[in-house]
A and B are shown apart, each in its own frame.
Chain A
Amino acid sequence: METFARHRVLLAITVVLLLFSAVPAWADPPLREAIDAQMTIVWEREKVAPAPAADDAAFLRRVWLDLCGIVPTHEVARQFLDDADPQKRAKLIDRLLDDPRYAQHQADIWDMVLFGRNPPGYDAPKRVGCQTWMRNSFAANMPYDQFVRHLLRAEGNTAEQGAPMYLVQYSRQPEDAAMAVSQTLLGVQLQCARCHDHPYEAWTQRDFYGMAAFFSRLSAVRNGQVNSLDKVYLAEMNTGEIKFVGPAKDAVPGKQGEPIKPKFLLGDAIEEPDLTAEFKDEKHPGDGKPPVPPKFSRKDKLADWVTAPTNPYFARAAVNRVWSQFMGRGLVHPVDNMSPSNPPSHPELLDVLAKEFVAQRFDMKKLIREICNSRAYQLASTGEVAEPFPQWFERARTRPLSAEELLESWRVATGHDEVTARSGKKVEGRFHGVTFDYLRQFFGEPTNGVGDFQGGLQEHLYLNNGELPRLLTAEEGSLLDAVITSTDPPESRIDRMFVSVLTRLPDPDERAKFVEFVMVKENTQERWREAVWVLMSCSEFRFNH
C-alpha cells in the first residue's frame, strides 16, 4: 500500500514535469541542416556531384503534389513565380502543411500503405470511416505514435471511429496481421519465418508465431449501421492460441501444433494472467451484439510495445517511410525491409531523424517540414542519369502520379472544378469528371510499395481514346474558355495554358510551336483542345519530378 502511494506521488510529479516542460526545439543545428550535412558528406565520399537547385516552377509543382496531391491553379502558380520574397519556398511549405488538401493527400498515401488497392477481408473495401478518420488525424496533426496506437487498439467501430478497420481486414488471420504489422509499422519482414527459420536474419519461426499470437483472438463483429456503413467491431476473446506446427515443408495433414505464447520481436514472452482450469470463455458475441472487452487484452499490450519511444524499430521505420515518400527511396530501401542484410545508405542520418522524431513527440508535420526545406529535397531532377530514384539523393527523384493525383490534377488544370462550381451542379464524392474505376484500373497499381513505374500501353489507350475529352469542355470557367475567348496575344494565352497544366512557362521554342499550332483560321477550338490534351497526356505531366 505504501509503495503504491509513493508510486502515485512519483507519477504525479512526472505528469507535472511533462506538462510544464516545453517540447524541445530542434536539435542544434536544425534537422534540415543535419540532413544536408549528411548528404554532403556522402556525396563527397561517393564522388557524385549534386544537381543544381530546382527552379521555382519545378519546386512549386513538386511540393504541391507531394504535400497536397494536386498541381496548383494558374493563379496560385503565377503568384508564387512572381513573388520576389527570398523566403517564399519556406512560406509555401508552411502554407501547404496547413491546407485541407494536405490531410486528404496524406490520408490517401496511408490508405495505400495500410490497405492497398485490394485489401483482404470482407469489410475493408468499404472503409470510408477509416479514411475519414485518417484525414481528420492528419488535419489535427495527431502524433504518429497515437495514430498507430489507435490502429492497433482498434477501439470503437469501423464506421464511426474508423481506425478498427486496419485490423478488421485481418480478422481471423493472425499470421497475416503479424506480417503486416511487422512489415508496415516496424519495417521488419517476417514472412519467410512463417514457413521456415529466416535464412539470413535473426528471425525464427517462433518469433513469427510469437507475434501472430497477439492477433490470435481477434475477429470481426458486425453490429448495426450508420450512413449505410456496417459498424464492425473487433472482438477479442480470452482464449484461443496460435499453433506452431514446424517448417511447412515437413507439414503433415492433421498434425496438431503446439500453442505459442505472444512474444515481442527479440523480446520475451509477455506475462499473462493465468486462467483457472475451470475458466470458460464468454461465448463469441456474434453479429448484432457489441463485443465485451477481454479480461486481458493482448492487442493492447502489442499497441503499447509497438508505439513506445523505446521500441527499436518503430520510429526508424516511420522516418524512413516518410523520407522515401518525399525523396523517392528510403534511407533503407525498400522501406519495409530494414534488416542487417539491407543497411541504410546514410546510417547517421537515419539515427538523427529517428531520435528527433521521438524527441518531437512523433510530430509528423515538423518532420515533413524539415525534409521539404532541405537542400536535398529541393534539388533539380534533370540531368544525364536515367535512374528515377538516385541512390545518393544527388538529384530529385521522378515518381509517377497516383490515380488520385492524376484525376484531381487534371481537374485543376482544365478548370473542370471551376466549371462544375459555376454550373451549380451537385457533385458526389471526390472522384468525378471521369470514371475513377478506369483510372484505378489503368493507373492504380504503380503503388507496389517499391514505387516502380508500371504503366504499359494500356494506360495510353486510356489517355488516347478514353474519357479525357470530358474534362476538355469550353464552358465558362474552364481553361479552354479562358484561352479561346481571351483577346490577349496568342503567346500569353499559350503561357497561361502551360502554367495551368505543367506549372511552368513554355520555353521559347515551345511557345512558338504551340502558337503556330493554334493560330489557324478554322477549327480553332479543336486545335486548342488538342494542345491541352498534349500537355495533359505527356510524360512531363505523368510524373512528379
Chain B
Amino acid sequence: MNPHNPTVDHLSRRALLKGCVGTAAGGMVMNWGSLVSSAHAAEAASKKQKRCILLWMNGGASQFETFDMKVGRPAGGLFRPISTNVAGTQVCELLPNMAKLMDKLAVVRSMHTSQIDHPGGIHLMHTAYSEAANIRFPELGAVIAKYIGREQSALPQFIKIATNGHSGSGFLGPRFAPFNMGHDGNLPPFSKSYIDPQAENRRHELRDFMENHNARIHKVETARMHRESYAAARRLQNVLETFKIDSEWIKYGPLYGDSWFGRNCLLARRLIEADVPFVEVGHGSYDTHGDNFTGHKSLTAPMDQAWSALLNDLAERGLLENTLVVWMGEIGRTPQINNRAGRDHYVRAWSTALAGCGVRGGYVHGATDIDGHDVVSGEVTEGDFFATIYAALGIDPKKENFAGSRPVPLAPFGSKVVRELLV
C-alpha cells in the first residue's frame, strides 16, 4: 500500500478531464472525438478511483454489543457471541449478517480517543482534531473531496445523509462544503429548477456577464468561490436522477432492508457508483444511557442488514476493491452497566471497523483487557485511525494545509498509519 499520491490514478483522472468539454448549460459531456484512443482507459481509470463511505453510528454504538464481547464478565451484558466466517473470530449475535462477511472486515478493538461527550466526539471523529476556537478543521469528507474529488463532476463531492457533524469543509473553504441531504434521503429543498430552460439560460447569460465584469474589478477569492458554487449548483440540475433510488428499490429493497438506513445505504452506493468520492450515512441514536440492550437490539437489526447488503452489492459491482467503507461513531460505551440498564460514554477502549479498498479482511486489530476497561495491545488513536483511512485511499496523511499561516497536517502530527489493517 503506497500512502503517497498514486500517480497513475491521478494522471488518469487528468486525462479523463481533458477529454471533457463544458456545455452551454454548464454540464459536462464527454468529448469522445479527442478521446477515442483513451476512452476505454478512462473508464477503467474511473472504476479504479478510490472512494469512501462512512457509516456513522450517531450517539456511539456499544463495542460490547458488536465487536468486543466480554462474555461472563461484569461488562458482558445480555447477548451471546456467534461464530463468523473467519475461524476463531466471534462477534455479537446482533450482527448475524456481518458475521458472514467477517472475511471482508477489519475490526479495530483498541480505539482510544480523547473526547468523551457528543459534541466534542462528533467533531473529533469527523476531523481527527479536537475543537479549537481559532482553527476550523475540515471533516473527513471535505479532505477526501479535495484530494480525490473529481474537479468537474456535476455531483457534489462530499455528501452527507441523515447524519451529524457541523464542521463542514472548515478552512478548506466552500468548494469542499458538504451537500446535506435530509433524514429521509431526499434532496434538500430548492434542489430542482422549475424555470423554463430557455429562460434559465437567458438569465444565466446575463448573470455571467455581471460576474465577469465584477471579477475584473474584485479579485477577492470569496467572490471567486461564490461563482464556483453557482456553477456547481447549475451543474447539479443535470444529475438529479442519481439521487433517486426508486428505480432500484424494487430489486434491492429486500436486500438492504426496508429501513431509512437501508434506503440511504442504497443511495450511497448509487452515488459512489456515479463517482462521488465520499458519502456519509448516519444511523441511530445509539446513545443508550438507558435500556442499552433493547436499544441496541432494535438498532443493530436494520444496520446489520443494510451494512452487509452494501458490502455485498459493492463487491458484486467490482467497486469494493476501491471503496473504503468505514464504520464508526463518536464514542464507545462503558463496561459498567448503570442502574437503568444503560451504558454511558467511554473512550478508553472501543471498536471501529473498516472494509474494502485494500483493507485486510478477516483481521482483528488490537485487544482490550478481560473487562474491556483498557486497551492492552495495538492502541489506535483518532489520529492513527484517520491516518489509516487516508493511507487506504492513497492520500498522504502528512499532507499539510494552511489555516492562516499555521500548517495543519491531514492527520494530527505524530499519528501513525496502522499498517496491519492494510493489505
**Chain A residues proximal to chain B, CB less than 8 Å:** 183, 189, 191, 249, 253, 334, 336-337, 342, 381-388, 398, 400, 438, 448-450, 452-466, 507, 509-510, 513-514, 517, 526, 530-531, 533-535, 537-540, 542-543, 545
Contact = CB atoms under 8 A, between A and B. Distances in A.
Contact of B234 (A454, A464, A513): A464
Interface in B154-198: 156, 168-169, 171, 173-175, 177-180, 188-195
B235 to A, nearest CB: 9
Contacts of B419: none
B222 A530 contact: no
Nearest to A540: B214
Nearest to A452: B136
B190 A183 contact: no
A542 B133 CA distance: 26
Please tell me the size bucket of the interface on B. Answer: 35 or more
Interface string B194-210: 11000100110011011
B233 A461 contact: yes
B177 A457 contact: yes
B229 A387 contact: no
Given A386-B219, A465-B192, A540-B210, A454 B174 contact: yes
A191 B130 CA distance: 11
A534 B168 CA distance: 28
Interface string B243-260: 000000000000000000
B339 interface: no
Contacts of B190: 438, 461-462, 464-466
B174 to A, nearest CB: 4
A457 B213 contact: no
Interface centre among A191, A464, A513 (most CB of B within 10 A): A464
Contacts of A384: 219
A388 B222 CA distance: 7
Contact of B223 (A342, A398, A450): A398
Contacts of A337: 133-134
Contacts of A537: 207
Interface centre among B180, B211, B226 (most CB of A within 10 A): B226
Nearest to B187: A461
B115 to A, nearest CB: 10
B199 A400 contact: no
B337 to A, nearest CB: 13
B221 interface: yes
Contact of A461 (B191, B219, B223): B191
Nearest to B334: A253
A526 B223 contact: no
B227 interface: yes
4 nearest A-B residue pairs (beta carbon):
A456-B177, A460-B233, A530-B203, A453-B222
Interface centre among B190, B195, B209 (most CB of A within 10 A): B190
A121 to B, nearest CB: 14
Contact of B174 (A342, A453, A462, A513): A453
10 contacts: A381-B220, A398-B223, A449-B133, A453-B174, A456-B177, A461-B233, A531-B206, A540-B214, A543-B220, A543-B226
A398 B218 contact: yes
B194 to A, nearest CB: 7
A533 B210 CA distance: 12
Contact of A457 (B199, B202, B219, B232): B232
Contacts of A191: 131, 133
Given A539-B227, A542-B226, A458 B219 contact: no
Contacts of A543: 220, 222-223, 226
Contact of B222 (A400, A514, A533): A400
Contacts of A334: 133-134
A516 to B, nearest CB: 10
A455 B226 contact: yes
A399 to B, nearest CB: 8
Interface centre among B133, B156, B213 (most CB of A within 10 A): B133
A440 B168 CA distance: 16
Nearest to A526: B199
Contact of A450 (B131, B134, B179, B230): B134
Interface centre among A398, A509, A530, A539 (most CB of B within 10 A): A539
B221 A535 contact: no
Contacts of A464: 190, 193, 230, 233-234
B274 interface: no
B125 interface: no
A535 B233 contact: no
A238 to B, nearest CB: 30
A254 to B, nearest CB: 10
A190 B210 CA distance: 46
A454 B213 CA distance: 23
Given A382-B217, A382-B218, A398-B218, A461 B203 contact: no
Contact of B203 (A385, A388, A533): A533
Given A465-B190, A465-B194, A513-B206, A545 B220 contact: yes
B334 to A, nearest CB: 8
Contacts of A458: 177, 179-180, 188, 233
Contact of A398 (B174, B203, B222, B233): B222
Contacts of B140: none
Nearest to B174: A456
Contacts of A513: 206, 209
A466 to B, nearest CB: 5
B225 A465 contact: no
Given A382-B219, A456-B177, A460-B230, 14 more contacts: A249-B114, A336-B133, A386-B220, A387-B220, A455-B174, A455-B226, A456-B229, A457-B232, A458-B177, A458-B179, A458-B180, A461-B191, A465-B193, A513-B209
A220 B9 CA distance: 59
B236 interface: yes
B189 A438 contact: yes
B21 to A, nearest CB: 21
A531 B233 CA distance: 19
A210 B226 CA distance: 45
Contacts of A510: 209-210, 213
Contacts of A385: 219-220
B219 A383 contact: yes
A540 B218 contact: yes
Contacts of A253: 336
Contacts of A533: 203
Contacts of B189: 438, 466
Contacts of B156: 457
A453 B225 contact: yes
A534 B207 contact: yes
B252 to A, nearest CB: 28
A545 to B, nearest CB: 6
A444 B175 CA distance: 17
A218 to B, nearest CB: 21
Contacts of B173: 452-454
Contacts of A342: 134
Nearest to B203: A530
A534 B210 contact: yes
A190 B229 CA distance: 37
Nearest to B177: A456
